[in-house]
Amino acid sequence: MLPIGKVPNDILERVVFKRTGAKLDRVVLGPAIGEDAAVVDMGDRYVVIASDPITGASSGIGWYAVHVNANDVAVRGATPLFLTLTILLPKDVSVGLLDEVVNDAHSAAMELGVSIVGGHTEVVSFLSHPVVCGTMIGEVEKGKLVTTGGAKPGDVILITKHAGLEGASIIASERYNELVEVVGRGVLERAKSFSRMLSVVKEALALNEGCKVTAMHDPTEGGVIGGLIELSIASNVGFRVDGAKIPVAEETRRICEVLGVNPLRLISSGVLLATVDEEAVDDAVKALKDAGVKFSIIGEVVDEGRIIEGPEGKVYLGDEIVEELWVALEREID
Amino acid sequence: MLPIGKVPNDILERVVFKRTGAKLDRVVLGPAIGEDAAVVDMGDRYVVIASDPITGASSGIGWYAVHVNANDVAVRGATPLFLTLTILLPKDVSVGLLDEVVNDAHSAAMELGVSIVGGHTEVVSFLSHPVVCGTMIGEVEKGKLVTTGGAKPGDVILITKHAGLEGASIIASERYNELVEVVGRGVLERAKSFSRMLSVVKEALALNEGCKVTAMHDPTEGGVIGGLIELSIASNVGFRVDGAKIPVAEETRRICEVLGVNPLRLISSGVLLATVDEEAVDDAVKALKDAGVKFSIIGEVVDEGRIIEGPEGKVYLGDEIVEELWVALEREID
C-alpha cells in the first residue's frame, strides 16, 4: 500500500524513473530525486519544464499552482514564462469556484509576468475537491543553468527568508480558532500572512544573475531539513549546517512549540536553498541585498555526512524526508 | 451548476480565456475554442504545448495520457518530444497500479519517440480513481505551423480512419457482456481493437510534410461532427460535408444502431480532420497513401453555414457539441 502524499523517493527510483520512454540526447536533465524541473536543449537556449499539482489547498489553489511551478523553474536559473493549467472540478460545483481558481491563477501569473497559454477544464464525477495540475515552461541561457545536483564540497550554503513559513501559514489558517487562545491573534495573523512570501522567483533569478551559483532548490515537503537532504542526494555530497543559523520566525517557533513539531521539518515553499562557490559569497550577498531579500549563511557543503549542529550536539541525518505538517494539523492542543 | 465533463465552450470563453496572466508577444497561439495546443515563439522555432488529463479510463491510463497529448501537439504540425506526467493515485492503492500506469506510458512514449522528462506522483486521500495529467511539448519549423483556425473557403476537408472508432472501442469493452448476444463476439473484438488506432501523430506529420495543410484538428468529445464544428469556430468559416462520405466501420455502425446513437457524434480520438488548399489535394493524397493511412475526402470549407448532406436532406448545425458516449454507456439494450 502506498502512503498518502508524495510517493517516497525509493519507489520513484524503482518504479517510475527507470521507464521514461525514448532516450533523447536533447534531455539535459530528466526525472531525478530532488530535481523538480526538467531541462531540454532547444538549440540556442535551454527550456525548463516543471509540473506540480495542487491537491490539498482549500483556497487559493490557482495562486499556488502558478507559484509552486514557477519556483521549480526559477531554481534552475530559468525565467518562468508560459503555463498550462489543468483544472479538475468536483461535481455539483458552481461557476463561482472556477471563477475563483482562474482569478487567483491570473493574479499570480500577472505578478510573475507569466502567460497562461492553455490547459483543460473539466468537472470530474468522482472528485470531492478541486485539483489543479500546472506545468510551467521557462528558459535560461545555456551558460546560466543551475541544477539541484551541482553543489560541491567547500561551497557555502545559504537560505532566504525563514524556515517553515509555508507550514506556519497553513497551520495558522486551519487551526485559527483553537490556537488563538494559546498564542494570540497577532501571532496567527502574522503567520497567516507568510503565505504571501511563497515565491522564490525574484531571489533565485537575482542570485543567479549576480554570482556563480552551484545549486539551488526550493524546500517544500520535509522543510529546510528535507530540502538539504534532497540537495545532498542530488549533488552526491554531504553538508554541515549550524542549526542556530537557520532563521525561524518568532511566530513559527511559537506555533511549532505549542504543537510539538520541528519548524525545520515543516513545509517551506518560499525558502530558497542555494550553494555558491566560496569565492562567490560576496557577490551572492550583494545580489540578495540588492534584491531586498533576507537571507542567512547557514553552513557548508562537505564530502559526505549530513550534519546539523545544535546546542545538544550534532544530528546526523539519513535519507528519510519527514514532513511535520500533518502531525501539526492533527495533534491535540492542551 | 456545471455539468459533468469538459466545461462548455461558452463558459470557457467567458470565465477562463479572458484572464490569462501577462500578455507576452511570444505567445503565438493561446487558449481558444477548438485549439488544443498552445504555440510559443522560441527564437528559431515554435514550441507547441498541450495539456490534457485522463480522468475516465479504467485501464491504459498512462497509455492514453501520452497519446492524447501527442495528438494535440501533432495537429499543429509539430513533433511531440518531451512529456511530463502528473500521476494522482487513489488512497489504499498498491504499487502495482503505479507500475501499470508507468509501464503503459513508457510503451506509448517509446512508440512515438517521446521522452518522459518529469512530473509528479502523489497519493491523494480524496480520490477514488486514478487521474493522470499530461503535458506534451513539441516543436515545429516556423513555416510549417498548422492551427485549427487556418481553414479558408474553398479548402478541401479530409479525415483519416473512421468516425467514432474510440467510442466504439470503449463501448465494446464496457458493455461486452450485454452486447455479445446481440452483435456477436467478432464485432466486439474488432471494435475493441480500434483502441490501437488512437494516435494521429504519423498521419498529421506525414500530411504536413507532404503538402500545404491549412488546418488540422483531432476530434475527441463530440466526434467527427463536434470536430467539424470546432474547426469551423476556430477558423471562422462554414463547411459543406457529404455525410455518406464520412467513413464509419461496420462494427461501429452495428453497435451504434443497437444503442440508438449517432456514430458521427461519438468520441473519435484517432481520427485526423484536416483541410488543404484545393491545389494541394494531390500532394495530400500521396502523402497519406505513402504513410499507409486510410482517409476520405468528405467535403469543402465554405464562407458560412455548417451543413451535412445526407439521404434525408441537409442538416444545419449550430455551436453545440453533443457527445453520445454517455448515452451509449447507459441506455437499456432491448
Tens place of pLDDT for every residue, chain B, 334 residues? 888 888 888 999 999 999 999 999 999 999 998 889 999 999 999 999 999 999 976 688 999 999 999 999 999 999 999 999 999 999 989 999 999 999 999 999 999 999 999 999 999 999 999 999 999 999 999 999 999 999 999 999 999 999 999 999 999 999 999 999 999 999 999 999 999 999 999 999 999 999 999 999 999 889 999 999 999 999 999 999 999 999 999 999 999 999 999 999 999 999 999 999 999 999 999 999 999 999 999 999 999 999 999 888 999 999 988 999 989 999 998 7
Beta-bridged to residue A213, according to DSSP, are A276
Q: Are B241 and B308 in contact (CB under 8 A)?
A: yes
- The rounded distance, in Å, linking the Cα atoms of B258 and B127 is 34
Neighboring chain A residues of B86 at a CB cutoff of 8 Å: 51-53, 133
Neighboring chain B residues of A110 at a CB cutoff of 8 Å: 21-22
CA distances from B1 to A91, A131, A322 (A): 8, 18, 40
Q: Are B227 and B268 in contact (CB under 8 A)?
A: yes
Q: Are B112 and B72 in contact (CB under 8 A)?
A: no
What chain A residue is nearest to B99 in terms of C-alpha separation? A15
Burial of A25 (0-12, 13-18, 19+ CB in 10 A): exposed
List the domains of chain B with CATH numbers.
Answer: 9-144 (3.30.1330.10), 148-330 (3.90.650.10)
What's the pLDDT score for residue A57? 66
Q: Do B2 and A95 touch (CB under 8 A)?
A: yes
Smallest CA–CA separation between A275 and chain B, in Å? Answer: 23
Contacting residues for A197 by C-beta, under 8 A, at least 6 apart: A161, A165, A270
Map grid coordinates 489535394 to a residue: B281
Q: Are A217 and A203 in contact (CB under 8 A)?
A: no
Q: Do A114 and B30 touch (CB under 8 A)?
A: no
Neighboring chain A residues of B137 at a CB cutoff of 8 Å: 40, 47, 49, 137
What chain A residue is nearest to B63 in terms of C-alpha separation? A21
What's the pLDDT score for residue A59? 80
What's the pLDDT score for residue A333? 85
Q: Give the CB-side neighbour count of residue B216, counting CA atoms within 13 A.
A: 29
- Global pTM reads 0.94
Q: Do A66 and B98 touch (CB under 8 A)?
A: no
Q: Do B4 and A103 touch (CB under 8 A)?
A: no
Map grid coordinates 483531432 to a residue: B218
The most distant pair of C-alpha atoms in chain B lies apart, rounded to whole Å, by 60
DSSP 3-state of A167: helix
State which residues of chain A have pLDDT below 50.
none
What chain A residue is nearest to B126 in terms of C-alpha separation? A128
Q: Do B106 and A20 touch (CB under 8 A)?
A: yes
- The rounded distance, in Å, linking the Cα atoms of A201 and A191 is 21
Residue of A47, A112, A135 lying closest to B51 (CB–CB): A135
What's the pLDDT score for residue A15? 93
Neighboring chain B residues of A94 at a CB cutoff of 8 Å: 1-2
CA angle A298, A303, A306 (to 5 degrees): 50
Q: Are B305 and B311 in contact (CB under 8 A)?
A: no
What chain A residue is nearest to B133 in terms of C-alpha separation? A133
Smallest CA–CA separation between B309 and chain A, in Å? Answer: 33
Q: Are B88 and B130 in contact (CB under 8 A)?
A: yes
Residue of A6, A43, A106 lying closest to B21 (CB–CB): A106
Map grid coordinates 510573475 to a residue: A112
Contacting residues for A24 by C-beta, under 8 A, at least 6 apart: B81, B82, B113, B115
What's the pLDDT score for residue A34? 82
A 10 A CB-CB count for B300 gives 18
Residue of B7, B84, B127 lying closest to A135 (CB–CB): B84
Map grid coordinates 452486447 to a residue: B179
Smallest CA–CA separation between A266 and chain B, in Å? Answer: 18
What's the pLDDT score for residue A3? 85
What's the pLDDT score for residue B57? 66
Find how far residue B47's CA is from the centre of its chain. 20
What is the overall mean pLDDT for chain A? 95
What chain B residue is nearest to A127 in terms of C-alpha separation? B127
Strand order in the sheet with B27-29: A5-6, B115-124, B79-90, B131-140, B46-54, B38-41, B27-29
Q: Are B127 and B90 in contact (CB under 8 A)?
A: yes
What's the pLDDT score for residue B159? 98
CA distances from B87 to A1, A3, A70, A199 (A): 16, 14, 20, 24
**ipTM of the predicted assembly exceeds 0.90:** yes
DSSP 3-state of B137: strand
What chain B residue is nearest to A19 in terms of C-alpha separation? B106
